[in-house]
C-alpha cells in the first residue's frame, strides 16, 4: 500500500482540533449530495440540519435538553471505561433512577416543599447506583463479566419499570392508561424555557469528573488500573474498590439523568419509556469524547445535534427518518475515521 | 408428546439465529476484535436476504444474499477499525445505527410482501442443522488447526503474534468477515425462514443477545450452544407459562431468560483459570505494525 | 353600540376565519406524527394509507407531512416543530403522545390538534379513536364457529384499555356462539417484534389453540398459522398475502374517510374541536377484510353480525356484562357508557388470564 499509517510519537494537538473539523467538512459534503439527490436545496438542508439547532433559540434549547442525559451519562461512563470497568447497563440504571424518583409524586403527591426536589434527585441517584451495584458485586465476588450482567439487567429494568408503571403506580384517574399522575410544583425541575436544571447538573458532573480524573489522586488511580493493572496493584490501588466506585458513579449519574428527565421533561412516568435508549448512545458519546468527561460535553452536543437534525430533516425537509439515520451513522464514521489522525499520521511510501 | 415436540421445535427455532450470530462473533473476538455492530450486520442480512428471496423467488438465494449483506457491513467495520484504527466500540455502535437505517431504506419496497418460506421438514430447516455443523466446524477450526491457533495467538497478544510472522491484520479481516457472514445469515434466517416478511428493525435486539452470549460462553463454542439454548428455552417457556394464566405478571416472566443467563454466568465464572485461559487478552485493542 | 358590536363580531369572525384558513399558497398543511415506521405493516402503516387517501382526494388543496419513529418521551420537540413550521392541523397517532400534544397545543392555540386513542381534550385538541372492538366481536363469532378445540390463542402487546376491550369483545362474540369458548393469552410486551409474535403463535398452537388472534403489528402470527395449516385473523391491515389459506378475516383500520372528513371540515369552516371522536363500522373507519377460508354458512353469519353492528342493531358491549370476578356492569339492553369502555380494565367472565391492577 502506498499510503500507510504510522504512530505518532505523541498525540498531535493540531489534529485534535482539526480532525472534528475535517469530519464535519466531509459530512457536509456528503450531506449536500444526499440533499441534492432528494431534491432539497443543499444549502437549506445543511442549514436546517446543522446550523438551525445552534442559531435558532428554540432549537438551541431543544439541543441542550437532548444533550443533557447524554452528557450526564457519558461523563460517568468515561471514568468507568478508563478504569476498564465496562458498564454497558446505563440504560437500565436510568430506568431505575427515574422509577425511584417517581415514587415520591405517586405516593406523596402532597409533599410540596423545596426539599422534595432534592430528595427526588437523591433518590434518582440512589436508584441508579444501587441497580449498578448488582453487576459490580457479581464481578467482585463471583468474577462474572460485567458486560453481560449489566446488559442483561437493562432488559430486566425495562420490564420491571413497565410492570410497576402499568400496575400499582398507575394514575387512578387516568382511564387505566399506563402512566402515573402528572408531577407538579416542587416535584418538577425549574426550567428556563425548555432547558431544565438537569442541564446544569450535567455540566457540573462533567466538569467535576474531569477534575477528578486529571487533578486528583483518585483519577490517577482509576487511569492506572485501567491502562496498567499490574502497576496499579503494585501501587496499592484496589481494583475491587475501583469497580464499586465506577459502577456507583456511572450508575448514579445514569439514575440522576433518569430523575432529571422525568422531573424536567416528561413530568410523569409512562411506559413505554424511550429516554433510556440514550443509555447506549451515551456509550458512543463517551468514546467520541475520548473518554474524557469534559470531552463528553462537546460529544454529547454533537450527537444531540444529529438527533435534532434528523427530526428537522423529517419535518422541515421531508426527508424520511431512514435517511436521517443513515446520515447519522455516516457522520459518526467520518468522525471516527478522522480521529485516527490524532494518534497516527498518514505517510506516503514511494515504491523502491 | 406432540405438544412436547411442538415446544421443542419452537425453542430450536428461537435459539438458532442467536447461535449462528454468536458463533461468528466468537471467532471475531477470539482474534482480538470487539465488534458491537452485530445487530447492524444482522438486520442488513435480514433485509438483503428477504429482498433477494423476494426478487428471485428462491429462499436459498435469499440466504446467500444475507451472507453477503453481513459481509459487506463487516468489511466497512474492518476498514475503520483495522486499517484506520478507529475505536472498535464506537465504530461497532455506529455500524449498528447505520445498519438499522440503511436496512430500512433498502427494505422500503419490500414491506407487506410475502415470500416463499425456506422449506422445512417437520419444522426443521437446513439452517437449524447448519447451526450445529457450524458449531462443530468452528470448534475444530479454532482448536485443532494451525490457522485457528494463529487466530487465538493474535487475539491473546497481537504484538507477539506479529513478531512471529503471523499476518495479524489479514487474519483479523478474515475473522471479521466471517463474523459478518454469520450475523448476516442469522438475520436472513429471521426474514426468510422464521417469519417470512420484512419489517423494519425486525431483529429487535437479537444481535445484542448474541453478543452477551459470546461473553457468557467464555469464548468456547460448545458453551455457546448451551447459552443460546438456555436463553431460547427460558424465553419460550415463559410464554408457555403465560398461557397457563397463573396470575404471574407477564413482564416478570419475561425477565426470566435474562436473570437465568446472569445466574448461569455466575456459576460458570467461578472457574477463574478457565476464564483466564480463554479470554482474548487483546480484545478491543487496535494493532499497528511498526517496521 | 350596535356598530361596535358588529365591528368586533366581524373582527372575531375574520380572526377565526384566518385561524383556520389555508396558507398563502392556498393549501392547507396537515401533519402526522407516527410512533413507528410506515414499514411496520400495522398501526402506523394503516394511518399512512389514510394519509395517502387524503393525498389522492384532496391533493390539490392539502399539503401533507409525516414524521416517523417518534418515541413518546421525545414527542414534544417534533410536534412543536411541526406547529412552528406552519401546520394547520396535527394528528398525533399514539396514546403516549397525550401530554406532549396538550403541552404544544397550549402554546399554539391557532393550530388544531387531534390525538388518537387519548382521553384528554382542550379547546384546540380533539381525541379520535375507532371502535375496533366491533370487528373483534365479529372475529369472535367466526372463531367460535370455526374452532375445533374451542380455544383461541390471543397475542397481545401491552394491557392497555384498547387491547383489553378487544379481548373482551372477541370473547363476547365467541360466547354468543359457544358459551364455553376459551381463550389463551400471551403478552409479548412489545409492539414490534415479528420473531416474538411468531414464537407466541407457535406456543399458543402447541397449547391447544387452533385460531390465532392478535393485537400486535406484524404478520408473523398469520405466517405461522399458514405453516401449521391452522387459522388466524390479520390485524390492522389485510394480511391475506401472508396467509392465503389461514386468514379468516382481518380488522382493518381505515383512517382515510375520517382524515378526509376532518380536513374538509377544516377547509369549509365547520370543524369543531375539543371533543371525543369515536368512529366505528358505521362510518367506515373500522372495516374487515373479506371473509375467506370458511364455509358459506359461517360467512353468512359473519356478514350478518357485521351488518348488524354497522347498522347499530347490535352493540357488543350491551349490558349487563358479567365480569371475571362475578359482578356485573351496565344496564340491561343499554350499551356501556363510553367512559367505561375507554378505560376498560376488567375481563369478562370466561377468560382465565389476570389483569394487572
Q: Determine the Cα–Cα distance for residues C205 and C228; give it in Å rounded to an integer.
A: 9
Average pLDDT, chain C: 87
pLDDT for A101-146, tens place per residue? 999 999 998 899 999 999 999 999 999 999 999 999 999 999 898 9
- Neighbouring chains of A at 3+ CB pairs under 8 Å are B, C
| Contacts with B249 from chain A: Cβ below 8 Å | 163, 167
CB atoms inside a 10 Å sphere around CB B58: 16
Confidence of residue C2 (pLDDT cuts 50, 70, 90): low
* Mean pLDDT computed over C174-195: 90
Measured distance CA(A64)–CA(A305) in Å, rounded? 9
pTM of the model: 0.89
pLDDT of the residue at A317: 83
Decide if C202 touches B, using CB distance below 8 A.
yes
The Cβ of residue C265 has, within 10 Å, a number of other Cβ atoms equal to 14
H/E element holding C133? helix C132-146
What's residue C51's pLDDT?
95
- For B173, other C-beta atoms within 10 Å of its C-beta total 19
Q: Which of A33-37, A167-171, A299-303 has the lowest mean pLDDT?
A: A33-37
Q: How confident is the model at residue A326 (pLDDT cuts 50, 70, 90)?
A: confident
Task: Report how far apart, in Å, the C-alpha atoms of C104 and of each of A282, C17, C120, C154 are.
Answer: 28, 22, 14, 37
Note whether C41 contacts B111, CB cutoff 8 Å. Answer: yes
Q: Which residues of B touch C220 (CB under 8 A)?
A: 195, 197
Tell me, yes or no, if B188 comes closer than 8 A to chain C by beta carbon. no
Per the CB < 8 Å rule, is A328 touching B212? no
Contact B102 A329 (CB under 8 A): yes
Q: Is the pLDDT of residue A41 over 70?
A: yes
What is the pLDDT at residue C217? 78
pLDDT at A350: 61
Grid cell of B52 as nine digits: 433477494
Q: How many CA atoms lie within 13 Å of C99's alpha carbon, on the beta-carbon side?
A: 21
- Range with the lowest mean pLDDT among A16-20, A168-172, C160-164, C168-172? A16-20
Joined together, the cell numbers standing for residue B137 give 466446524
ipTM score:
0.90
- Residue C330 region by backbone torsions, left for phi larger than 0, else alpha for psi between -120 and 50, else beta: left
CA distance C91 to C277: 13
- Pairs across B and C, CB distance < 8 A: 120
With CA atoms as reference, the chain A residue closest to C118 would be: A177
C-chain CB neighbours of B108 within 8 Å are: 39
Cis, peptide link before residue C320, omega less than 30° from 0? yes
In chain C, the residue whose alpha carbon lies closest to the alpha carbon of B199 is: C40
Residue B191 has pLDDT above 90, yes or no: yes
DSSP letter for C355, please: -
Distances (CA, A) of A31 to A36, A310, A323, A331: 8, 12, 10, 9
Q: What angle do CA B163, B165, B169 make, to 5 degrees?
A: 95
* Model pLDDT, residue C162: 85
Angstrom distances, CA of residue A258 to CA of A268, A273, C73: 11, 11, 12
Among candidate residues C329, A182, A344, the one with its CA nearest the CA of residue B288: A344
Map grid coordinates 468477515 to a residue: B177
State which residue of chain A sits closest to B92, comparing Cα positions: A284
pLDDT band for position C140 (50/70/90)? very high
- Computed on alpha carbons and rounded to an integer, the radius of gyration of chain B in Å comes to 19
Looking at residue C332, its pLDDT comes to: 87
CB A271 within 8 A of CB A178: yes
Kindly list the residues from chain C whose CB atom is less than 8 angstroms away from the CB atom of residue A49. none
Q: Is the dihedral of CA A261, A267, A269, A270 positive or negative?
A: negative
Torsion on CA atoms C80, C82, C88, C93, rounded to nearest 10: -90
Q: Which of residues 48-77 of C touch A (CB under 8 A)?
A: 65, 67-69, 71-74, 76-77
Query: How many beta-carbon pairs below 8 A join chains A and C?
Result: 85
Q: How far is B44 from chain C (nearest CA, A)?
A: 15
Give the nearest partner residue to A326 out of B89, B98, B269, using CB atoms.
B98
CB within 8 A of C300, min separation 6: which ones? none
pLDDT recorded at residue C12: 44
Chain C residues lying within 8 Å of B114, measured CB to CB: 219, 223, 241-242
H or E element: which one contains B163?
Answer: helix B158-163
Residues of A in contact with B275 (CB under 8 A): 143
Note whether C252 and C46 are within 8 A (CB). yes
Residue of B nearest to A321 (CA): B101
Query: For residue range C59-108, what is the model confidence (pLDDT) as tens digits?
Result: 889 999 999 989 888 899 999 999 998 999 999 999 889 999 999 999 99
Runs of H (alpha helix) within chain A: 13-37, 42-46, 52-55, 57-82, 90-107, 114-142, 146-166, 197-215, 217-227, 229-234, 239-261, 278-288, 295-315, 321-343
Task: Find out whether C172 and C315 touch, Cβ atoms under 8 Å.
Answer: no
Which residues from B are below 8 Å from C45, CB to CB?
Answer: 111-112
Q: Is B87 on the interface with A (CB under 8 A)?
A: yes
Question: Would the CB atoms of B108 and C39 count as touching at under 8 Å?
Answer: yes
Give the Cα separation of C314 and C133 in Å (integer).
Answer: 13
Distance CA C262, CA C2 (A): 35
- Binned at pLDDT 50, 70 and 90, residue A349 comes out as low
Amino acid at each position: 500500500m502506498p499510503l500507510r499509517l504510522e504512530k505518532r510519537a505523541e498525540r498531535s494537538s493540531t489534529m485534535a482540533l482539526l480532525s472534528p473539523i475535517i469530519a464535519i467538512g466531509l459530512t457536509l459534503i456528503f450531506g449536500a449530495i444526499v440533499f441534492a439527490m432528494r431534491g432539497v436545496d443543499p444549502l437549506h438542508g445543511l442549514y436546517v440540519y446543522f446550523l438551525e439547532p445552534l442559531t435558532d433559540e428554540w432549537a438551541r434549547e431543544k439541543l441542550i435538553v437532548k444533550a443533557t442525559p447524554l452528557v450526564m451519562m457519558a461523563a460517568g461512563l468515561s471514568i468507568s471505561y478508563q478504569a476498564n470497568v465496562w458498564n454497558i447497563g446505563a440504560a437500565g440504571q436510568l430506568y431505575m433512577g427515574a422509577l425511584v424518583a417517581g415514587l415520591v409524586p405517586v405516593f406523596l403527591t402532597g409533599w410540596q416543599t423545596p426539599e422534595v426536589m432534592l430528595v427526588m434527585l437523591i433518590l434518582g441517584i440512589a436508584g441508579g447506583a444501587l441497580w449498578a451495584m448488582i453487576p459490580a458485586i457479581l464481578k467482585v465476588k463471583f468474577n462474572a463479566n460485567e458486560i453481560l450482567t449489566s446488559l442483561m439487567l437493562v432488559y430486566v429494568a425495562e420490564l420491571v419499570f413497565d410492570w410497576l408503571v402499568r400496575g400499582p403506580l398507575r394514575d387512578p384517574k387516568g382511564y387505566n392508561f399506563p402512566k402515573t399522575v402528572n408531577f407538579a410544583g416542587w416535584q418538577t425541575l425549574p426550567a428556563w424555557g425548555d432547558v431544565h436544571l438537569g442541564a446544569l447538573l450535567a455540566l457540573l458532573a462533567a466538569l467535576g469528573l474531569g477534575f477528578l480524573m486529571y487533578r486528583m489522586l483518585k483519577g490517577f488511580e482509576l487511569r492506572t488500573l485501567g491502562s496498567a493493572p499490574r502497576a496499579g496493584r503494585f501501587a496499592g490501588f484496589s481494583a475491587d474498590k475501583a469497580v464499586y466506585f465506577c459502577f456507583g458513579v456511572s450508575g448514579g449519574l445514569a439514575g440522576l439523568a433518569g430523575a432529571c428527565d422525568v422531573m424536567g421533561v416528561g413530568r410523569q412516568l409512562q411506559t413505554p419509556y424511550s429516554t433510556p435508549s440514550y443509555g447506549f448512545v451515551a456509550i458512543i458519546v463517551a468514546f467520541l469524547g475520548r473518554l474524557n468527561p469534559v470531552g463528553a460535553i462537546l460529544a454529547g452536543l454533537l450527537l444531540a445535534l444529529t438527533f435534532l437534525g434528523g427530526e428537522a430533516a423529517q419535518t422541515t425537509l421531508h426527508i424520511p427518518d431512514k435517511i436521517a439515520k443513515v446520515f447519522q451513522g455516516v457522520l459518526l464514521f467520518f468522525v471516527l475515521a478522522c480521529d485516527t489522525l490524532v494518534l497516527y499520521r498518514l505517510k506516503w511510501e514511494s515504491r523502491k | 408428546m406432540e405438544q412436547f415436540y411442538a415446544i421443542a421445535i419452537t425453542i430450536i427455532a428461537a435459539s438458532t439465529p442467536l447461535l449462528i450470530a454468536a458463533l461468528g462473533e466468537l471467532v471475531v473476538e477470539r482474534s482480538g476484535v470487539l465488534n458491537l455492530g452485530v445487530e447492524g450486520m444482522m438486520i442488513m442480512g435480514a433485509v438483503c436476504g428477504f429482498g433477494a428471496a423476494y426478487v428471485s423467488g428462491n429462499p436459498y438465494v435469499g440466504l446467500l444474499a444475507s451472507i453477503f449483506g453481513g459481509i459487506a457491513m463487516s468489511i466497512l467495520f474492518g476498514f475503520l477499525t483495522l486499517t484506520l484504527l478507529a475505536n472498535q466500540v464506537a465504530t461497532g455502535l455506529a455500524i449498528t445505527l447505520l445498519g438499522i437505517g440503511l436496512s430500512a431504506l433498502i427494505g422500503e419496497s419490500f414491506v407487506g410482501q410475502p415470500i416463499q418460506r425456506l422449506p422445512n421438514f417437520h419444522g426443521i430447516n437446513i439452517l437449524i442443522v447448519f447451526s450445529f455443523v457450524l458449531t462443530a466446524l468452528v470448534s475444530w477450526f479454532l482448536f485443532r488447526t494451525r490457522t485457528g491457533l494463529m487466530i487465538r495467538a493474535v487475539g491473546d497478544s497481537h504484538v507477539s503474534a506479529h513478531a512471529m510472522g503471523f499476518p495479524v491484520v489479514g487474519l483479523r479481516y478474515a475473522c471479521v468477515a466471517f463474523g459478518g457472514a454469520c450475523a448476516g445469515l442469522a438475520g436472513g434466517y429471521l426474514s426468510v425462514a422464521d417469519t417470512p416478511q420484512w419489517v423494519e428493525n425486525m431483529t429487535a435486539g437479537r444481535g445484542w443477545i448474541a453478543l452477551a452470549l459470546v461473553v457468557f460462553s467464555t469464548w468456547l463454542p460448545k458453551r455457546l450452544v448451551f447459552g443460546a439454548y438456555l436463553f431460547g428455552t427460558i424465553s419460550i417457556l415463559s410464554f408457555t407459562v403465560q398461557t397457563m394464566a397463573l396470575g404471574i405478571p407477564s413482564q416478570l416472566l419475561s425477565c426470566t431468560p435474562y436473570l437465568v443467563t446472569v445466574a448461569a454466568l455466575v456459576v460458570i465464572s467461578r472457574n477463574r483459570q478457565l476464564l483466564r485461559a480463554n479470554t482474548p487478552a487483546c480484545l478491543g485493542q487496535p494493532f499497528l505494525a511498526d517496521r | 353600540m350596535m356598530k361596535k358590536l358588529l365591528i368586533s363580531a366581524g373582527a372575531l369572525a375574520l380572526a377565526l376565519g384566518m385561524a383556520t384558513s389555508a396558507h398563502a399558497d392556498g393549501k392547507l398543511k396537515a401533519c402526522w406524527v407516527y410512533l413507528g415506521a410506515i414499514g411496520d405493516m400495522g398501526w402506523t402503516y394503516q394511518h399512512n394509507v389514510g394519509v395517502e387517501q387524503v393525498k389522492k382526494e384532496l391533493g390539490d388543496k392539502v399539503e401533507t407531512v409525516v414524521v416517523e419513529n417518534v418515541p413518546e418521551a421525545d414527542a414534544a420537540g417534533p410536534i412543536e416543530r411541526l406547529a412552528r413550521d406552519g401546520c394547520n392541523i396535527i394528528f398525533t397517532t399514539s396514546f403516549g403522545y397525550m401530554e406532549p400534544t396538550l403541552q404544544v397545543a397550549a402554546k399554539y392555540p391557532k393550530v388544531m390538534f387531534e390525538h388518537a386513542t387519548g382521553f384528554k381534550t382542550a379547546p384546540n385538541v380533539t381525541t379520535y379513536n375507532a371502535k375496533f372492538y366491533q370487528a373483534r366481536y365479529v372475529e369472535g363469532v367466526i372463531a367460535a364457529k370455526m374452532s375445533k378445540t374451542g380455544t383461541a390463542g390471543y397475542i397481545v402487546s401491552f394491557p392497555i384499555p384498547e387491547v383489553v376491550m378487544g379481548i373482551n369483545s372477541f370473547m363476547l362474540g365467541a360466547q354468543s356462539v359457544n358459551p364455553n369458548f376459551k381463550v389463551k393469552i400471551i403478552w409479548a410486551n412489545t409492539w414490534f417484534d415479528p420473531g416474538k409474535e411468531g414464537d407466541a403463535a407457535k406456543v399458543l398452537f402447541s397449547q391447544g389453540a387452533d385460531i390465532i388472534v392478535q393485537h400486535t403489528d406484524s404478520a408473523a402470527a398469520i405466517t405461522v398459522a399458514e405453516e401449521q395449516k391452522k387459522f388466524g385473523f390479520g390485524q390492522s391491515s389485510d394480511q391475506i398475502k401472508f396467509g392465503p389459506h389461514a386468514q379468516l378475516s382481518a380488522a382493518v383500520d381505515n383512517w382515510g374517510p375520517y382524515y378526509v372528513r376532518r380536513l374538509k371540515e377544516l377547509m369549509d369552516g365547520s370543524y369543531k374541536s375539543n371533543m371525543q371522536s369515536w368512529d366505528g363500522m358505521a362510518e367506515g373507519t373500522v372495516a374487515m377484510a373479506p371473509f375467506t377460508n370458511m364455509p358459506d354458512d359461517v360467512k353468512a353469519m359473519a356478514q350478518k353480525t357485521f351488518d348488524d353492528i354497522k347498522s347499530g342493531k347490535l352493540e357488543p358491549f350491551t349490558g349487563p356484562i358479567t365480569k371475571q370476578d362475578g359482578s356485573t356492569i351496565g344496564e340491561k339492553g343499554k350499551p356501556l357508557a363510553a367512559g367505561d369502555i375507554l378505560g376498560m380494565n376488567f375481563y369478562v367472565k370466561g377468560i382465565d388470564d389476570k389483569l394487572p391492577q
